[in-house]
A = this chain, B = another copy of it.
Amino acid sequence: MAQRVPVASIQQYSQEHLREVLNTAGRRLTPQREKVLSLFQNLGPGHHLTADDVHHHLKQSGKKVSLATVYRSLKLLVDIRLLDEGEWQEGLHCYELRQGGSKAHHHMVCMRCGHTEEFISEVITAASRDVSQVTGFELTEVRLILRGICRRCRQRSKATAEALL
């Protein structure tokens, strides 16, 4: 297991990384963009937020960023590959902090409570690479979503069923 790096460092690093990447592209590091990125960093990896979630979180923290700007920043951060975007729950476009390395992590979404777990599978990654290679496909992204009912919800419904007997 990789050692956990202090949050402060991660933030520091990405803040600089962000400024650098932006400036190189002739774009700017603004307080708004910083706030959006910080939100994800403070929550830590594994959190999936919609644009609206981000807007609300920031508003509650007293950090005002307009919704339009939230949308613009999220898109930007995805371009820069600091965030990932996906529709894990039907109809909900969410963003999450991009995991440090090249590890493709996958999602397991509970259709009852919406809880999302992440996992990594070397087998699946390898299989994806194989399929791509055979097809002459240049693989950029592997995205796997398992949908179903999580353990907690299964136990809950089991308990409910028993109570009805």
Please state if A135 and B151 are interface contacts (CB–CB under 8 Å): yes
In the assembled complex, the CB of A98 is this many whole angstroms from the nearest CB of chain B, namely 15
A136 beta carbon closer than 8 Å to chain B = yes
- Which residues of A138-165 are within 8 A (CB) of B? 138-151, 154
Interface range, A side: 20 to 34
Query: Whole-angstrom distance between the alpha carbons of A125 and B32 in the complex?
Result: 42
Please state if B108 and A135 are interface contacts (CB–CB under 8 Å): yes
A interface residues (Cβ-Cβ under 8 A, vs B): 85, 87, 90, 108, 110-111, 117, 119, 121, 123-124, 127-128, 131-132, 135-151, 154
Q: Which 7 A-B pairs have the closest CB atoms?
A: A136-B151, A140-B148, A141-B147, A138-B149, A123-B127, A139-B148, A144-B144
29 contacts between A and B (CB under 8 A): A85-B90, A108-B131, A108-B137, A117-B135, A119-B135, A121-B127, A123-B124, A124-B127, A124-B144, A128-B146, A132-B148, A136-B151, A136-B154, A137-B148, A137-B149, A138-B148, A138-B149, A138-B150, A139-B147, A139-B148, A140-B148, A140-B149, A141-B145, A141-B146, A141-B148, A142-B145, A143-B144, A143-B145, A144-B145
